[in-house]
Amino acid sequence: MGQGSSNESITFRINSNYLSDLRRLADEEKISLNTLVNQILKSYVDWESIAVKAGFAVFQKEVVKELFNAVDQNTLQQIAMRTADKSRDTLLLMKGATNLDAALSLLNSRSRKAGFSYREFHEPDGRRIVIQHDMGINYSTFFKTHNERMFNNAGYSVKVDITESSTIIKILDK
């Protein structure tokens, strides 16, 4: 829920098997059932209900990693630039805006849904985002090119560094 939002009480009927599973998951996560249900609802509203319509698909990580490793660097960079040029439409559909907060929110959601570690740091001259993906250097190269182009298209100066398993995006204040 966003800042300043209020809570309401409502009653639902839930299949007892699902409720049992939800209680177990909440216990494993050491959170309340209420918190877990709110996280599930937020995830559905923010991602699952619209992601497929926006062109996202679910693939096993190893399949994606193998595909990226099978493609040459030049082809990866061309694909990254073409897809970054279409990211404005994706942002509008998924987040309703094309500003920096919308782009970072989408990047965060996409990273977390892929099982990547995502950290954002506020610094005096901008923001630094660190995404650990463990997908290999070709994925890092694609991700670097894609994000540089996407943020530059939105009018932001970025510097992207990569390793074999991470991407570090430095977004400079305008």
For 1-34, what is each residue's pLDDT tens digit?
455 578 899 999 999 999 999 999 999 999 999 9
Q: How confident is the model at residue 132 (pLDDT cuts 50, 70, 90)?
A: very high
What's the average model confidence in pLDDT over 64-77? Answer: 94
Quick one: CATH architecture of 71-172?
A: 2-Layer Sandwich (3.30)
101 pLDDT above the threshold of 50: yes
Q: Which of 34-38, 57-61, 164-168 has the lowest mean pLDDT?
A: 57-61
In degrees, rounded to 5, the angle at the alpha carbon of residue 116 between the alpha carbons of residues 69 and 164 is: 40
pTM (2 d.p.): 0.83
Q: Check whether 82 has a pLDDT greater than 60.
A: yes
* Mean of all residue pLDDT scores within the chain: 92
138 sits in which H/E element = helix 137-153
Q: Where in the chain do CATH 3.30.1380.20 domains reside?
A: 71-172
Q: Which two tokens stand for residue 85?
A: 């040029």
pLDDT at residue 2 in the model? 52
pLDDT bucket at 81, cuts 50 / 70 / 90? very high
Residue 164 to residue 132: CA distance in whole angstroms: 9
Distances (CA, A) of 97 to 117, 134, 150, 170: 24, 30, 14, 21
